[in-house]
Amino acid sequence: MANLNVLTICGSLRKGSYNAMVQRALPSLAPDGMTLTPAPAFTELPLYNADIQNSTGFPAPVNTLADVMGDEQVNANGYLSTLDDGLRTVTMPFTLAGYQAPTRAARRPGEDDDAVLGER
């Protein structure tokens, strides 16, 4: 049987993180045929860190929705779309193979009852 290589990821950056302690202990507990390797620390990514929150409070929002909707680059990259009811929305900045994002707004309560339920 081939060896199963598993990458473990810990999102906590706290020195005393229980999740990090478990991650460090896991390789010695792995069954035969499995290798557990910790991912590099995500120190440079803006992940949640309770130590920072407790010392400085929550940071201000980076952008409000209004900032995003009016951003020149967001518009130029086509990250906004308009639904069939005129609502403008932020789309995914990437595409998934075979996935087409909806272009219609959510239907109102009861709007599709006849089509869904047929004659009653």
> Residue 75: its pLDDT value, please?
85
CB 84 within 8 A of CB 93: no
Q: What is the pLDDT of residue 119?
A: 67
Residues in contact with 85: Cβ distance below 8 Å, sequence separation at least 6, in sequence order: 104, 105
Count Cα atoms within 13 angstroms, Cβ side, for 44: 1
Strands (DSSP E) along 1-120, which ranges? 4-8, 34-38, 80-82, 88-90
| Domain assignments of the chain as residue spans, ordered by start | 4-56, 65-117
pTM value is 0.36
The predicted structure's pLDDT at residue 88: 83
Residues of the chain with pLDDT under 50: none
Q: What is the structure's pLDDT at 47? A: 65
Strand pairing partners for 22? none
- Return d(Cα 116, Cα 16) in angstroms, integer: 54
Q: Identify the pLDDT of residue 1.
A: 63
